[in-house]
Chain A
Amino acid sequence: MSDYLWDKSGEPDAEVERLEELFKDLRYQPRELELPLLELPLNAQLAHAPGRNYWPGLAAAALILMGLAGFWLVQHRGEEVAQSNVVAQANQATQETQPTREANAGEDSGVRVNAPQKVDQRQADSRVELPRRQALPHMAVRRRQELVGPQMVEPKTKEASPDRPEVADVGPQRRLEQQREREQQAEGLRAKEELMLALQVASTKLNHAQRKARGGTSIPGPDSKPAAPARIPWNKSR
């Protein structure tokens, strides 16, 4: 069979030539593609417009929103921590008035010894202005360096050396250190008392709930031995 019909090679076929001649005006002619402009609604045209992809914008907007939300959460938590610090300092201020109330404890039958009085709001506010003093010991060195400079917190052996001219400054600096240590000690003791109070309230309320649930009324006195602790039904170890 001739390949003329396929690639015009070989012997021409008369019938094929006749048909070619007949349809030559319809043969393929390379030209640029022209799409007709459709009469679509505006929204549809925007949606199908080339280069109009909204996903990157949406994703960027969502990321920005999430970033803002994260920033807000961090800020919010920071405020909570700051607030807790303020309240803790206010409580410490309350504890400072404790000796007066302890002196009056005998008149109060000793019942309210550990219940601090209402915190004076002005006093609490004034405490806000103060720097936070309950710093950890290792932070104290850093703060000291910030306050008096690094040369003042060198080891004591160097300070005691007669060759060094800074010896004259040792007295005030050591007094400052001792004062700070005393302050930290006092802060720690106050925090300890607060902790005792908090745990005592928690323990009392917990036992109170248990006694109520059981319908019991036995109340251990202050001097009672802790040998018979309230048994908590949810404790699996017992």
Chain B
Amino acid sequence: MKQIAFLSLKIFALSLVLTCAALPAWAQNGKLEISGLDHLAAKASETVDVNMDEHLLQMTAKFLGKDPDEAKIKEIIAGLKGIYVKNFSFDNEGDYTAGDIEAIRSQLRGPGWTKFIQVHSRRDGDNVEVYILTLGDQIQSLAILDFEPKELTVVNIVGPVDIDKLSQLEGQFGIPDMDLDVERSNKPQPKKQ
């Protein structure tokens, strides 16, 4: 009886250790829970919602050709475990709340996440935050949180992402730049002194 009790205790301790070891790895896969923002789609005038898991990315990679542009995309998505984008454009200010932002931001305070860029603009109310999840020297996940008075964007790229290559994609492949910047560029710029 004593031996059984001791064996059970050992199994329990081993299971506990394994569970404790596995939990952080599970929690640090870099995927954010952003489905909580889905309710904003009802208020938004325009919504971009892209959810591509690893399976879908792999399938899509097969449809990418061999020309340099598509090869570049294939290179970027190689090894990625998911790309999740939510972009909401609203007609009125205040259609999303600080709680919506905080729900995302609280996840980015977890272990491993580093806030790399944070810009708050009082002039136009634009706020951009860029976070990366690193493991050693390698980026394991990227998160971009961009919220303006009438627009909210969350980007979450899970997996080893080459940020430099990603930043080079803007304005390529016949896809025009997002209206966000175009609209801003049409605004009168303050004169530099």
Residues of A whose CB lies within 8 Å of any CB of B are 51, 53, 55-56, 58-60, 62-63, 66, 69, 73, 80-81, 83-85, 87-88, 90-91, 110-119, 134, 136-137, 185, 188-189, 191-192, 194-210, 212-213, 217, 219-224, 226, 229-232, 234-238
Contact = CB atoms under 8 A, between A and B. Distances in A.
A90 to B, nearest CB: 8
Interface of B: 1-2, 4-5, 8-9, 11-12, 15-16, 19, 26, 35, 41, 44-53, 56-60, 62-64, 73, 76-77, 82-85, 87, 89, 116-117, 119, 121, 126, 128-130, 132, 137, 142, 144, 146, 153, 155, 157, 163-164, 166-185, 189
B48 A229 contact: no
Contacts, number: 231
B185 A219 contact: yes
B1 A51 contact: yes
Nearest to B76: A199
Contacts of B64: 192
A199 to B, nearest CB: 5
A81 B53 contact: yes
B182 A200 contact: no
Contact of B157 (A110, A192, A202, A210): A202
B167 A230 contact: yes
24 contacts: A55-B8, A56-B4, A59-B12, A84-B53, A84-B84, A111-B176, A111-B183, A112-B46, A115-B48, A191-B56, A191-B63, A196-B175, A200-B170, A201-B48, A202-B83, A203-B170, A209-B119, A213-B128, A219-B181, A229-B167, A230-B168, A232-B167, A237-B164, A238-B164
Contacts of B172: 226
A118 B51 contact: no
A136 B73 CA distance: 20
Contacts of A185: 63
Nearest to B124: A212
Contacts of B168: 203, 226, 229-230
A191 B179 contact: no
Contacts of B146: 205, 208-209
A194 to B, nearest CB: 5
Contact of A88 (B56, B137, B177, B181): B56
A88 B57 CA distance: 11
Given A201-B48, A235-B164, A212 B4 contact: no
A112 B89 CA distance: 11
A73 B9 contact: no
A195 B83 contact: yes
Nearest to B44: A118
A199 B169 contact: yes
A132 B56 CA distance: 11
Contacts of A88: 51-53, 56
A91 B50 contact: yes
B36 to A, nearest CB: 12
B47 A201 contact: no
